[in-house]
Amino acid sequence: MAILIDVSTRVLVQGITGREGGFHTQQMQAYGTQVVAGVVPGRGGGETLGVPIFDTVAEAVARTGADTAFTIVPPAFAADAVMEAAAAGLPLGICVTEGIPVLDMVRATAFIAGTPMRLIGPNCPGVMTPGQAKIGFIPNHVGRPGRVGVVARSGTLTYEVIQGLSESGYGETTAVGIGGDPVLGSTFVDILPLFADDPATEAVVLVGEIGGSDEERAAEWIRSSGFDRPVIAFISGRTAPPGKRMGHAGAIISGSTGSAQGKIDALTAAGAAVADTIEEVVRLVGERLAP
Amino acid sequence: MKLLEYQAKRQFDRVGIEVPSGRLARTPEQAAAAARELGRVAIKAQVPIGGRGKAGGIAVVDTPEEAHREAVRILAMEIRGYPVRSVWCETGLEIAHELYLGITLDRDRRRLALILSAAGGMEIEEVAATSPERIAKLWPDPFAGPRPFEVRELAFAALAHAPALTEARGRLASALVPLAQTLYRLAVELDAVTCEINPLALTADGRLVAADGKLEVDENAEYRHPELATELALDLEGEDGRTGEDPYEAEAKRRGLTYVHLPGGSIGCIGNGAGLVMNTLDLIQQVGGRPNNFLDIGGGANAEKVRTSLAMILTDPDVRGVFINIFGGITRGDEVARGIVQARDELGITVPLVVRMTGTNEVEGRRILAEAGIVPGTSAPEAARKIVELVGGAG
């Protein structure tokens, strides 16, 4: 079992002819992901990487039965691309673009709230269901089908955790990178219930970072929902100085909110095991999984 | 990008929000001329940081001579590291009551929040912490903006805690509707993540005037507002080009790098991805080292970016070793490796380099490094220990 994407997922790529769009489409194809369409306004009728190109998402969906949008277009156009995919009725969108103006995302998330779409990202590494499909940047070789769900704000730490879980033999059901922007399509509390509904997920690793209160809200959800599987958490930015934006637009300790310690305390109080290093994440997962 | 008070007020004035009459002065002569024209004025240092009043950066003067003297004093000041380049000279108000009206990004709700309080003049976070009931909030529909009835509800909720304003509440609520709508439109137009009037002065004769202003533009949207950045640069840099920012951070910005300086540290840090770099700093500190910086080369960096990054980090002579931590996703190991080797050879780098490389194109990347005599590792904690050892522990 898995969440969000599996072997049957049919992906359309917005921005398939860009340098990064092309490279990662190839990587996704090599992984076995079904890429059924590309959307590039003005280049409909063409073909690239063995994939037909359409002018609009609506046309691509009608002609190919695509059910998931992978959005990898420049920041100035990304929010509009996400809305186009949502308006076409796609149930899942994954947007990896970094640097989208935050008010564009305020409007886009409000728009998609009235559509069937669940959005992952932006500024995220994407989603991988090992052995079945991946959409986004997660390196092909790191995943291994298994027992642990992963949900993370940081891209590279997502890879670290997946690699650690894979090398130790536990493997992953699905790994979801939710992104590092202040306004996200999905936060921890949107993804955790999906793992709760997936019987194959025996434990969840949650990778948070400084800034905002998504980790605190995740802790509250774990407590109030009675989530019955172990949660192992890791928070990066513990030594970051307040008031400094640490790369991610969302990663900043401002005033009394967003500190690593507050998040660690909230998660610990909710019964999660909080690790000091990625290595310790893997060890704690091992201790908590049924033999 | 935080605008200065006078820039915010000019924006307010442009869209029809009343502000006190004022003049910008970059010299004492201009300040004296402003006082001659406006009469009694407050001379206010224009710096992008709070606490200027306490630091002595505001003076109320009655004559042009006094204005000249105070401007000389204030223009020579440096407030919390920021040299004062200009002063805003503005007329005083007869204030009957101070309110707060602000707009800020609410991450949890994924909307802008419109905030009103009858307890103006204080830090709104402080009011929120001590008496949250005195703050009223509204999260307008991002497409429609605040509707009149919503603003009226907001106003009555906020004014309920100010007995002095009970009688005037109907008139105030009506006046706040167009004001809040205008402020919201301005925030959207400028891509503001903070747009605040504090205090919003209710004058003795019943007008609502923006007595102070704070405007912060979303960094991701700066490309849509180049004129604001240009104006701000003029105000901050002056003739000597000093901005008051950390000089290394200012230089990194000019080079287009995502860099945070941690003065006094001895280990330069480069990684791809904010979370990974934050974790790199955490790892170095866990084994007793002191990181000198945060530098995220981001996703998809090429060899040139890696070279620029290394050159930037080494401009601080405190750096005695560099830890490069790469877990390639969109970033390709071979590109990074080429950049490292190029940088080392061209810049003649002699301090120890420890590279941890894994992920996309890692085999090719490791081969390039190994051929150039740089031995890459695969475990981040191990690499952190190694660089701390090479640099000689805490320093």
Distance between CA atoms of A142 and A160, rounded to whole angstroms? 9
CB contact under 8 A, A248 and B219: no
Q: What is the pLDDT of residues B340-383, one digit of tens each?
A: 999 999 999 999 999 998 877 888 999 999 999 887 877 888 99
Mutation target vs A (from B278, B293, B324; most A CBs, 10 A cutoff): B278
Nearest residue of chain A to residue B326 (CA atoms):
A156
CB B356 within 8 A of CB B301: no
- Of A101, A237, A241, Cβ closest to residue B218: A101
- Indicate the SS3 state at residue B64: helix
Mean pLDDT on A57-78: 98
Mean pLDDT on A6-19: 97
Query: Which ranges in chain A are annotated with CATH 3.40.50.720?
Result: 10-120
The CATH number of B21-92, from 2.30.29.30, 3.30.1490.20, 3.90.1150.10, 3.20.20.70, is 3.30.1490.20
Name the percent of chain A lying above pLDDT 70.
99
Q: How confident is the model at residue B394 (pLDDT cuts 50, 70, 90)?
A: very low
CATH of domain B247-391: 3.40.50.261
Structure tokens, B359: 């992920």
Residue-level length of chain B: 395
Distance between CA atoms of A3 and A210, rounded to whole angstroms? 26
Nearest residue of chain B to residue A207 (CA atoms):
B275
Q: How far is A53 from chain B (nearest CA, A)?
A: 23
Query: Which ranges in chain A are annotated with CATH 3.40.50.261?
Result: 138-288
Confidence (pLDDT) at B395:
43
Name the percent of chain A lying above pLDDT 90.
86
CA-based end-to-end distance of chain B: 33
Distance between CA atoms of B18 and B36, rounded to whole angstroms? 22
Q: How far is A76 from chain B (nearest CA, A)?
A: 9
CB contact under 8 A, A277 and B283: yes
Mean pLDDT on B268-288: 92
Q: What is the pLDDT of residues B291-344, one digit of tens each?
A: 999 999 987 788 889 899 999 999 999 999 999 998 877 788 898 899 999 999
- Of B188, B286, B300, Cβ closest to residue A103: B188
CB contact under 8 A, B329 and A217: no
- Of B191, B258, B329, Cβ closest to residue A103: B191
CATH of domain A10-120: 3.40.50.720
Write the ipTM: 0.91
Burial label for B143, CB within 10 Å (0-12, 13-18, 19+), is: exposed
Task: Give the CATH fold of the B95-229 domain.
Answer: D-amino Acid Aminotransferase; Chain A, domain 1 (3.30.470)
Q: How confident is the model at residue A270 (pLDDT cuts 50, 70, 90)?
A: very high
CATH class of residue range A138-288: alpha beta
Q: Which residues contact A227 (CB under 8 A, 6 or more apart)?
A: A192, A196, A221
Strand boundaries in A21-142, DSSP class E: 34-39, 47-48, 51-54, 68-71, 92-95, 118-120, 126-129, 133-136
Is the four-CA dihedral B336, B341, B345, B349 of positive or negative sign? positive
Q: What is the pLDDT of residues A110-162, one digit of tens each?
A: 999 999 999 999 999 999 999 999 999 998 989 999 999 999 998 889 999 99
Chain A residues lying within 8 Å of B286, measured CB to CB: 276-277
Distance between CA atoms of B273 and B141, rounded to whole angstroms? 33
Confidence (pLDDT) at B237:
65
A10: pLDDT strictly greater than 60: yes
Mean pLDDT on A65-83: 98
A107-121, B58-72, B168-182, B237-251: least confident range: B237-251
CB contact under 8 A, A110 and B141: yes
Query: Which ranges in chain B are annotated with CATH 3.40.50.261?
Result: 247-391
Of A248, A263, A274, A275, which residue is the catalytic one? A248
Q: How confident is the model at residue B242 (pLDDT cuts 50, 70, 90)?
A: low
Query: Which ranges in chain B are annotated with CATH 3.30.470.20?
Result: 95-229
Chain A residues lying within 8 Å of B271, measured CB to CB: 156
CB contact under 8 A, B274 and A152: no
CB contact under 8 A, A100 and B220: yes
Q: Kindly report the average pLDDT of chain A as a whole number.
A: 95
CB contact under 8 A, A101 and B258: no
CB B57 within 8 A of CB B45: yes
Q: What is the pLDDT of residues B149-160, one digit of tens each?
A: 999 999 999 999
